[in-house]
Amino acid sequence: MRRWLGILALGTAALGTGCGGAGATAPAPLDGPLVSRPGLPAGPSFSDVYDRVLSRRGCVNSYCHPVEGMDAAYDHFLADRAVFIPCQGRRLVVPGDPEGSLLYLKVSMDPPLCGSRMPALGATLTGEEIDLIRAWIEGGAPR
């Protein structure tokens, strides 16, 4: 019983720091050019999405999407499927298809197709952040 209470306490503490944190405010507008990738069409890369949204907002390396580093985060979003009911089994990112990508749907819809809007804690993403995620997915979700 004590073990479960300890796990519950750690999870609750992590929720307060992850996914934007309690009382988080929206970050400053996105700045700087997108990373260019020679030989590939212009558009955002995962590096842009990671640096400008996922890492800045505390969505990764936290309780919400507990992965270490950008490469692991990319693999998570492209290979993994949702595990919690009612979104269970849905793909997080379908390259080229924002409307089929749970990541995009959960940050852009209120309420989303299933589950709760993301981020779960803190301010919702700005229109510019949501547009960046959509453009990345539409562009084929390049690394």
pLDDT score for 13: 32
pLDDT score for 68: 87
- Exposure of 52 by Cβ count < 10 A (0-12 exposed, 13-18 middle, 19+ buried)? buried
Q: How far apart are CA 31 and CA 120, in angstroms?
A: 25
Q: Which residue numbers in the chain have pLDDT < 70?
A: 1-42, 61-62
Q: Sign of dihedral through CA atoms 32, 45, 72, 17? A: positive
pLDDT score for 9: 34
Q: What does the domain layout of the chain look like in residue ranges?
A: 44-143
Give the other-Cβ count within 10 Å of 3's Cβ: 7
pLDDT score for 110: 93
